[in-house]
Amino acid sequence: MKNLEEAIMDAFIEGLETTLKNIKDIRNAWESLDSDATKEIQTGVSAIEQVKNNFPKHLAELLTFEIKENCAIVKPKQFLGSDNFAKIAAIVRNLSGEYVSAGKESHFKIPR
């Protein structure tokens, strides 16, 4: 029969082994995440907010933002007018994006 010290040491070692296994599981889960997810976790800023933050507030309010596959899709909520359109297009080009003309489905596409 084990004495008290041996029982305490065995419980301590078992606890360490469990902790190490949990750490390995967390590391493996982290490594399996895509780069956008890890960036969002590290910065606390969502992928949509990362894109939205490139636009001044008065322009961002005129747009909707969504992430699809490997790009951000930015759509106007309303008619932008030539001045606002030009400003938004310049920001999108600065982010290596482009305007996709598709009638009512026209949008700006920014690679991620």
- Residue-range domain boundaries for the chain: 4-32, 47-111
pLDDT at 10 over 90: no
Instruction: Please give the order of strands across the beta sheet that includes 107-111.
Output: 63-68, 71-76, 107-111, 98-100
| Strand, coil or helix: 68 | strand
Say what the pLDDT of residue 75 is. 95
pTM of the model: 0.62
Say what the pLDDT of residue 6 is. 85
Taking a C-beta distance cutoff of 8 angstroms, is the pair 75, 110 a contact? Answer: no
CATH class of 47-111: alpha beta
> Which of these, 65, 56, 112, 111, lies nearest to 88 by C-alpha position?
56
pLDDT category, 99, cuts 50, 70, 90? very high
